Amino acid sequence: MNLSRSGICCGIAAPVIWLSLIGLAGAMRPEFSHSYQYISELGERGSITEIPMRYIGFGFAGFLYVCFAAALPATLRKGWRAALLAMLIGLDGVGRIGAGVYACDPGCNGLSSSQELHRLFAMAGFSAAILATVVCGIIFRRHPWLGMLSAYSISSGLLAATLLFLMTWEANPIQTPGLFEHLATGVLSTWTLVFAVYLLCASALSDE
């Protein structure tokens, strides 16, 4: 398996590991509510799920996103377009890694520097992921085979952005911020998985 295809496989593994860790860590803490609590609370300092969530869920999965990003220029061969998409997906990975290095305070309500850095890295990762979906949908809309994902990519980005807005909107009558965050990361993770699988299939066909 060449390096490019290995990188694409990282793009398949990353969202699977991320979503699996959310489910596993949540199961380890029966008191945790996916509707009312943030994902970051699964990796909060002092919790029983801190180590797996910080170092596997955020750290290792983030590293896999970076590996996936590194494979895109050689896979897509589209100059600045592939470089831009790779940069955004790579920033998503770096944001995840940073959010794992800097754990949030218990309840994610503290004022420590670690809490603030965690928040900044997490928001940077989310923002980069949303931009990646929209950019992919726009700049590759005329691509001979990647264009088939254009509408799906843009819709995924807009939906995730809407969900994050609802999560942070203080006047939202539906006070379930955790649910909106879980749905947003689910939408973006699914997009990454679909995109990577699509690239892997296209790469396999091109080798035949």
Q: Are 181 and 167 within 8 A, CB to CB?
A: yes
What string of H, E and C letters represents the secondary structure of 111-138? CCHHHHHHHHHHHHHHHHHHHHHHHHHH
Q: What mean pLDDT is predicted for residues 26-44?
A: 94
pLDDT at 3: 66
Q: What does the DSSP assignment read for 3-71?
A: HHHHHHHHHHHHHHHHHHHHHHHHHH-TT--TTTS-GGGGG-TTSTTHHHIIIIIIIIHHHHHHHHHHH
Q: What mean pLDDT is predicted for residues 120-139?
A: 95
Would you list the domain boundaries of the chain?
A: 3-207
- CA dist., res. 174 & res. 168, Å (int): 11
pLDDT at 208: 47
Residue 79 has pLDDT above 70, yes or no: yes
Q: What mean pLDDT is predicted for residues 5-14?
A: 94
**Degrees to nearest 5, angle at CA 18 with 17 and 20:** 65
Q: What mean pLDDT is predicted for residues 100-110?
A: 89
| Residue 182 φ/ψ, nearest 5 degrees | -60, -40
> Which amino acid appears at position 142 of this protein?
R
* Global pTM exceeds 0.85: yes
Q: What mean pLDDT is predicted for residues 44-61?
A: 95
Mean residue pLDDT of the chain comes to 91
For residue 109, name the pLDDT band (cuts at 50, 70, 90).
confident
Q: What mean pLDDT is predicted for residues 47-51?
A: 95
Say how many residues make up the chain. Answer: 208
pLDDT at 143: 77
For residue 62, name the pLDDT band (cuts at 50, 70, 90).
very high
Residue 77 has pLDDT above 80, yes or no: no
CA-based Rg of the chain, rounded to a whole angstrom? Answer: 17
